Chains A and B, each alone.
Chain A
Amino acid sequence: MIRHLFKLIWNRKKSNFLLITEIFFCFLVLFGVLSFIVYNVRNYTKPLGFEHDNVWLLTMRPSTDSSALNHQNLEQVLQLVRTFPEVQQASLTSSNAPFAFSQMNNNLSYGNVKDVMADFYEVEDDFKEVMQLQVREGRWFGMQDNASHHAPIVINKALKQQLFGEEDALGKLIPVNDSTNYQVVGITEHFRAGSEFAADEPAFFTRLNLPRSPNSFWSEVLIRVKPGTGIAFEEKMVKQVAGIGKGWALEVTTLEKMRQNKAKLTMIPMIALGLVCAFLILNVALGLFGVLWYNINSRHGEIGLRRALGAASGQIYRQFIGEVLVLATFGLLLGVMFAVQLPLLQVFDVESIVYTVAILGAVVVIYLLTIVCAFYPSRQAAAIHPAIALHED
């Protein structure tokens, strides 16, 4: 029967061309949207590498250009913040704090591996405790780094893999310029600070040593507060910080709020694309339903004939469902041929598994869609009285 169905559809390929084309394009759109969704969902399920609950971000904008004064005030602010009983730890950070709309990156080279682009974060020693980072190998920054000849860095696993492969990375020197080298002192598991939907990209931390940078200013402080700390403390802290930094613009937000804002950036296009895709699928479904309905109605004579030749109504029903599945198979074969080019050519630097899942998902959805669309017309076809069907023709 399957051979018969394929033969029938193949011989009717001209009249089925539009339907096959519609299924093909529906598959491509679905594949694109599913790839996007699968990519983001996979990232979402990966660990961030840090804990953002109960972490606040204090942003300070000084009102004067005096670097020395600002630096002095910054030291006082940090001292003050660390004395509050509600605060567990605090750390200065570069402007690209987790979930911030800011990014800093640098190219690193080691041996034959050239120009690996990596995000970098300038942080104090307390950053590990504030963000509760897990160091899998080596150590985090500490006082011993004050005497180091090289600039210590902690890298994440993704950077370690790209730069060193299976080689041990600890203690390795990475040239920055003619006089400076980074020295790898530790490796963290993950660090996906961009957003929950961001990929696990290469990243490294450099050590921010406030006392050794007398004329420098960092405007962001990450503060881990005790659970349950609320707005009353925020007001108190802002008031007292404002007493030190006269005229400074101060802003406090939580990493949770920043996470939500960042998530919206991915969620909104994902939902929008999903809606567009759902609308498209609905249109395709209505089109398919209409065409199948028309096809079946114009084949009453054939249905009557098949019944006369010995087909039970169930066989007629299965035949029409089968025909639609064969039609879908033709459209899907074309679509899959296109879709597999993406993992084969490694387009967009996305893992092959994302495309594989998207292809399988799109195939299943298209088959389900065609079955749903064919269900009612096929049932109607199966219910046609053979004598009436033969008479109509």
Chain B
Amino acid sequence: MITLSNIEKVYQTKTIETVALQNVNLHIPKGEFVSVMGPSGCGKSTLLNIMGLLDEPTSGLVEIDGTPISKYKDKELAHIRNQKLGFVFQSYHLINDLSVLDNVELPLLYRRGASAAETRKLAMTALEKVGLSARTKHFPAQLSGGQRQRVAIARALIGQPEVILADEPTGNLDSVMGEEIMNILLHLNQQDGTTIVMVTHDENMAHKTERLIRFFDGQQVSDARTAAFNFQQV
């Protein structure tokens, strides 16, 4: 599904050169739920941005479904993001002036051939999956943090992506709400077979996923199956 080979990312200013990622080699197969952990500034979000085609590596190869993305132009990358990837952010990134339903519909705005009625139906289905079908007309400011993140997940789901990239999706939530969100993600992975890559600081959450990759100072220091995976295998 997603393969990273010898990825290096260096942020360069006139005076400072910061290595965000170094020699990263990863393969995320279809249907896997992977968590990425590490201290702040270790390059987790950079990794997610590169996987999500939002950023380019300084060197190395990124492949989606076996095709190197370096050959794609901006328009084609946008198309891949729209068709194959869904994003969930720590700070939700909802548009406050749009209703819940309109926020969820956003990805299909950039997809050709999606009729208004079809878009609405898909948005309603996505909201039902996250248990928010009663809040369609609400605005983000009228929702709790957990509800906002559920809206963000519904928005990620509407385009039926193969991969969801979640950047600390429970980071701004209390443990109960965090648990709720985690359950939704697990459900998506197990029932729908959606591949999920989740950046988290929470060991408990990470251990609920199948695979845990740890980063330190821009380098991948471990990549292992979790107990949850072993439990599933058993």
> In the complex, are the beta carbons of B78 and A11 less than 8 A apart?
no
- Contact residue among A305, A312, A387, A391 (Cβ-Cβ distance under 8 Å from B95): A305
The secondary structure that dominates the B interface is: helix
Q: Note all chain B residues with C-beta closer than 8 A to A12.
A: 97
Our count of residue pairs bridging A and B at CB distance below 8 angstroms stands at 75
A313 within 8 A of B: yes
> In the complex, are the beta carbons of A308 and B55 less than 8 A apart?
no
- In Å, the complex CA distance between A387 and B98 comes to 23
Residues 301-336 of A contacting B (Cβ, < 8 Å): 301-302, 304-315
B82 within 8 A of A: yes
Residues 91-127 of B contacting A (Cβ, < 8 Å): 91, 93, 95, 97-98, 102, 106-107, 109-111, 116
> In the complex, are the beta carbons of A312 and B54 less than 8 A apart?
no
- In Å, the complex CA distance between A306 and B55 comes to 14
Residues 166-218 of B contacting A (Cβ, < 8 Å): none
B79 within 8 A of A: yes
Q: Note all chain B residues with C-beta closer than 8 A to A307.
A: 54, 78, 81
- Contact residue among B79, B98, B155, B159 (Cβ-Cβ distance under 8 Å from A7): B98
Query: Nearest residue in B to A11 (C-beta to C-beta)?
Result: B97
| Interface bin, chain B | 20 to 34
Q: Note all chain A residues with C-beta closer than 8 A to B54.
A: 304, 307-308, 386-387, 390
A8 within 8 A of B: yes
| Given contact pairs A7-B98, A315-B110, A393-B93, A387 touches B79 in the complex (Cβ within 8 A) | no
Q: Note all chain A residues with C-beta closer than 8 A to B159.
A: 310
A149 within 8 A of B: no
Query: Nearest residue in A to B73 (C-beta to C-beta)?
Result: A312
A212 within 8 A of B: no
- Contact residue among A1, A308, A313, A390 (Cβ-Cβ distance under 8 Å from B74): A313
Min Cβ gap A378→B in Å is 16
Q: Note all chain B residues with C-beta closer than 8 A to A301.
A: 93
B33 within 8 A of A: no
> In the complex, are the beta carbons of B93 and A312 less than 8 A apart?
no
- In Å, the complex CA distance between A354 and B127 comes to 54
- In Å, the complex CA distance between A7 and B139 comes to 13
Query: Nearest residue in B to A388 (C-beta to C-beta)?
Result: B55
Additional A-B contact list (4), CB under 8 Å, known A12-B97, A305-B106, A310-B78 = A305-B87, A306-B106, A309-B109, A393-B93
Give the 5 A-B CB pairs with smallest separation, nearest first.
A310-B82, A312-B78, A310-B110, A387-B55, A11-B97
Partner-A contacts on B (CB < 8 A): 45-46, 49, 52, 54-55, 74-75, 78-79, 81-83, 87, 89, 91, 93, 95, 97-98, 102, 106-107, 109-111, 116, 155, 159
Sample (8) of A-B pairs whose CB atoms are under 8 Å apart: A12-B97, A308-B93, A309-B107, A310-B107, A310-B110, A313-B74, A390-B49, A393-B91
